[in-house]
């Protein structure tokens, strides 16, 4: 908006006339500043050369309508009879205009302020950039009054550092000098600022609003004429903690270095001279550390080993850690064997690369090693002797084990003998009876046959008729029709009996091959059937209900004879455990890459205290038991790479579950079921 002058009303007309006289004075045409006169109706009455250039760029000029803005400003100045100051912008130029009203027209005096406006715009942009940087900087920025420590301005990062909720809260409450843990630190920083006008990298510990402490590094400048300092604050708490941790670590390392029992030293890689050495040099080499620092590394090494040590040192300098043993000499000349372990270290500031060496006195270890070698030879001889003795004992043990297995087999056969003999005796009895009947009937038929034979041979008709009557009478008396009809039944029963005997004998033969160690494919369902067949008499004699729950099984690779022994032991125990009329369930099913067999009974069960011992050799609760049946069964299942598990509850019964893989253990390396 144009600005009106505050000059008194009485001066307005006189001022206009003075300006008018200046305009007609003759020199304005070459005045470098635009001067023009515009009538009340907006016509340009006069314009010097500078004004003409401005007007021409606006499509105007002398005796032409003035630019619309000029006309409006002139009309307003004449109406109010007030001098006005305003700015006129056209193209890329800006003019400061002063409009002086006179009777019927107004004089306009201009001044080109384009450069001033550009400078002001650049200054505003610079201030905006500074303010953006100030507000968004990732380090704390603050302006503080020196006299009382009042925070005049701060960015968000500094507000967060001191734990205030907002910049407004900090401006209202914060006096920075109250946040110094050590007030002398602030005075020290201010003294440095007053002396040099600035401070750089000054570190101090401050407290946050909540009382917690942190370390900060200040860099600040003093604006003496304004009584404030402006600076940057960086939170270096983690850095200080890291430095403190490093210092403590260095102290611990120094203590470890100085008081380590092993000799530790560093070597200059360029000169091969010792740069540092710990106190262990007194114990290992009888030298004080000061006697070794600055001396060649090889000064205490036996000359015969210097070349090897130098060679390894060269490898370390090239970047390969290495270890070498060498005989050395203590200060008193006594020999000592040292194990040098060397590796390259990064160079410290202003130093050549170093080689770190840890040296172990292994003299005693070498003596012990040589003594151990001698002892080892003696022990090896003793081991060979003991091994031979153990092999012999193992052979004896195997023989005893075989005898025990054979004894268990014979015991099992003994238990089965009565039942098997009874099972054979039944079919054998009716086979024998049938043979007696057949012999009797055969004699009868033979006598009838002989009579009919005499009929054939007789030539006398009367005699022949008598013989025929005799033969028919004998045939009727012997009931030959019944005999001939019953023969087929007798023969079938006899064949059945012999088949039954044959099966019992075959099953018995299969079972007696318990000791066979031949691996072959077998049907577990059939193996169990064979065992049940052997136990038929025992099962029937106790009126035991035996339920078969056999499911289709894949053939497995096993030793069938030995598995029959396992099934016999468990089934026989079950038969003996169940009461009269008890029940046994034998189940089989395929399981992953093998089979499972479960034999469950409703017998008396096994007490809990005995359950963990039933597979122990010679453990038995039977008056005449050997205690080997379940132990041998466990070994046979383990030999097959399987498992045998038992669950039992007193008064409810027992279940044995056997898991058998489909392949031999030697063929299942790495295979998981």
- The pLDDT, as a whole number, for residue 547 is 94
| pLDDT one-digit tens code per residue, 482-534 | 777 777 777 777 777 687 677 666 656 555 554 456 788 999 999 899 888 88
Q: Where are the domains of the chain?
A: 3-118, 137-241, 260-361, 389-504, 516-667
- The pLDDT, as a whole number, for residue 129 is 72
Q: Tell me what percent of the residues of the chain surpass a pLDDT of 70.
A: 84
| Contact in structure between 195 and 119 (CB atoms under 8 Å) | no
The answer, yes or no, to whether residue 415 has pLDDT greater than 60, is: no
pLDDT band of 25, cuts 50, 70, 90: very low
For the whole model, what pTM was predicted?
0.36
- The pLDDT, as a whole number, for residue 98 is 93
pLDDT band of 671, cuts 50, 70, 90: very low
pLDDT band of 173, cuts 50, 70, 90: confident
- The pLDDT, as a whole number, for residue 22 is 45
DSSP secondary structure letter of residue 40 = T
- The pLDDT, as a whole number, for residue 6 is 42
- HEC profile for 144-201? EECCCCEEEEECHHHHHHHCCCCHHHHHHHCEHHHHECCHHHHHHHHHHHHHHCEEEE
| Contact in structure between 520 and 555 (CB atoms under 8 Å) | no
Specify the CATH number for 3-118; select among 3.55.50.30, 3.90.1150.10, 3.10.310.30, 3.30.450.20.
3.30.450.20
CA angle centred on 296, ends 292 and 298, rounded to 5°: 100
| pLDDT one-digit tens code per residue, 423-459 | 666 677 667 777 777 777 777 777 777 777 777 877 8
pLDDT band of 624, cuts 50, 70, 90: low
- Domain covering 516-667 in this structure, CATH number: 3.30.565.10
DSSP secondary structure letter of residue 617 = T
The answer, yes or no, to whether residue 192 has pLDDT greater than 70, is: yes
The answer, yes or no, to whether residue 166 has pLDDT greater than 80, is: yes
- The pLDDT, as a whole number, for residue 378 is 84
| pLDDT one-digit tens code per residue, 532-580 | 888 888 888 889 999 999 999 999 999 888 888 899 889 988 998 899 9
pLDDT band of 9, cuts 50, 70, 90: very low
| pLDDT one-digit tens code per residue, 239-272 | 888 888 888 887 887 777 777 778 888 888 888 8
In this prediction, residues 338-354 reach a mean pLDDT of 76
- The pLDDT, as a whole number, for residue 669 is 52
Contacts 24+ apart (CB under 8 A), 321-326: 325/362, 326/301, 326/302
In this prediction, residues 89-114 reach a mean pLDDT of 88
CA dist 647 → 547, 592, 601, 610, 657 (Å): 19, 22, 11, 12, 8
Question: What tokens appear for 672 in the block?
Answer: 């998981």
- The pLDDT, as a whole number, for residue 351 is 60
User: For the domain 260-361, what is the CATH superfamily, name and number?
Assistant: PAS domain (3.30.450.20)
Same fold, 260-361 and 516-667: no
CATH class for domain 137-241?
alpha beta
Mean pLDDT, rounded, of the chain: 81
- The pLDDT, as a whole number, for residue 89 is 85
């Amino acid at each position: 908006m144009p600005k009106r002058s505050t000059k008194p009303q009485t001066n307005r007309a006189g001022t206009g006339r003075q300006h008018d006289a200046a305009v007609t004075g003759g020199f304005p045409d070459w005045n470098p500043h635009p001067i023009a006169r515009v009538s009340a109706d907006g016509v340009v009455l006069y314009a010097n050369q500078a004004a003409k250039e401005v007007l021409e760029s606006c499509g105007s000029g002398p005796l032409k309508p003035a630019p619309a803005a000029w006309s409006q400003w002139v009309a307003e100045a004449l109406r109010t009879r007030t001098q006005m100051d305003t700015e006129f912008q056209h193209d890329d130029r800006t003019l400061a205009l002063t409009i002086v009203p006179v009777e019927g027209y107004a004089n306009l005096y201009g001044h080109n302020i384009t450069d001033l406006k550009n400078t002001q715009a650049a200054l505003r942009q610079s201030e905006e950039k500074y303010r953006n940087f100030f507000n968004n900087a990732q380090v704390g920025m603050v302006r503080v009054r020196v006299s009382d420590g009042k925070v005049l301005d701060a960015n968000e990062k500094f507000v967060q550092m001191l734990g205030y909720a907002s910049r407004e809260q900090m401006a209202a409450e914060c006096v920075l000098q109250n946040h110094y843990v050590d007030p002398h630190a602030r005075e020290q920083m201010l003294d440095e600022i007053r002396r040099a006008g600035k401070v750089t990298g000054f570190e101090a510990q401050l407290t946050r609003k909540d009382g917690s402490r942190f370390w900060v590094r200040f860099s600040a400048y003093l604006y003496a004429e304004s009584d404030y300092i402006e600076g940057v604050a960086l939170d270096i708490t983690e850095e200080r903690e890291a430095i403190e941790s490093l210092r403590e670590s260095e102290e611990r390392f120094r203590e470890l270095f100085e008081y380590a029992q092993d000799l530790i030293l560093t070597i200059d890689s360029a000169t091969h001279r010792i740069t540092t050495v710990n106190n262990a040099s007194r114990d290992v080499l009888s030298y004080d550390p000061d006697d070794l620092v600055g001396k060649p590394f090889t000064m205490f090494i036996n000359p015969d080993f210097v070349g090897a040590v130098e060679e390894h040192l060269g490898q370390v300098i090239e970047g390969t850690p290495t270890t070498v043993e060498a005989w050395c000499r203590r200060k008193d000349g006594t020999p000592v064997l040292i194990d040098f372990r060397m590796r390259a270290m990064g160079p410290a500031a202003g130093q050549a690369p170093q080689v770190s060496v840890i040296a172990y006195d292994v003299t005693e270890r070498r003596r012990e090693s040589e003594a151990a070698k001698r002892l080892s030879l003696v022990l090896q001889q003793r081991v060979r002797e003991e091994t031979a003795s153990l092999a012999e004992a193992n052979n004896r043990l195997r023989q005893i084990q075989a005898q025990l297995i054979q004894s268990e087999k014979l015991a099992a056969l003994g238990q089965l003998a009565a039942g098997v003999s009874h099972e054979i005796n039944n079919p054998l009895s009716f086979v024998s009876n049938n043979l007696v009947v057949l012999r009797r009937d055969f004699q009868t038929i033979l006598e009838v046959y002989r009579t009919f034979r005499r009929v054939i041979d007789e030539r006398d008709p009367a005699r022949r008729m008598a013989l025929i009557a005799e033969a028919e009478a004998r045939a009727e008396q012997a009931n030959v029709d019944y005999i001939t009809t019953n023969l087929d039944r007798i023969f079938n029963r006899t064949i059945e009996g012999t088949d039954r005997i044959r099966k019992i004998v075959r099953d018995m033969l299969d079972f007696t091959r318990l000791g066979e160690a031949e691996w072959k494919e077998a049907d577990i369902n059939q193996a169990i059937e064979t065992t049940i067949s052997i136990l038929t008499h025992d099962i029937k004699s106790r009126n035991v209900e035996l339920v078969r729950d056999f499911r289709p099984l894949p053939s497995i690779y096993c030793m069938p004879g030995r598995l029959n022994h396992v099934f016999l032991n468990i089934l026989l125990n079950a038969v003996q455990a169940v009461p009269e009329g008890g029940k046994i369930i034998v189940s089989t099913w395929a399981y992953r890459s093998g089979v499972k067999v479960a034999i469950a009974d409703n017998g008396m069960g096994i007490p809990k205290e005995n359950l963990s011992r039933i597979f122990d050799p010679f453990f038995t609760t039977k008056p005449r038991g050997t205690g080997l049946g379940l132990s041998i069964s466990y070994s046979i299942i383990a030999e097959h790479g399987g498992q045998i598990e038992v669950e039992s509850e007193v008064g409810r019964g027992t279940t044995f579950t056997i898991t058998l893989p489909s392949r031999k253990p030697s063929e299942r390396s790495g295979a998981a079921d």
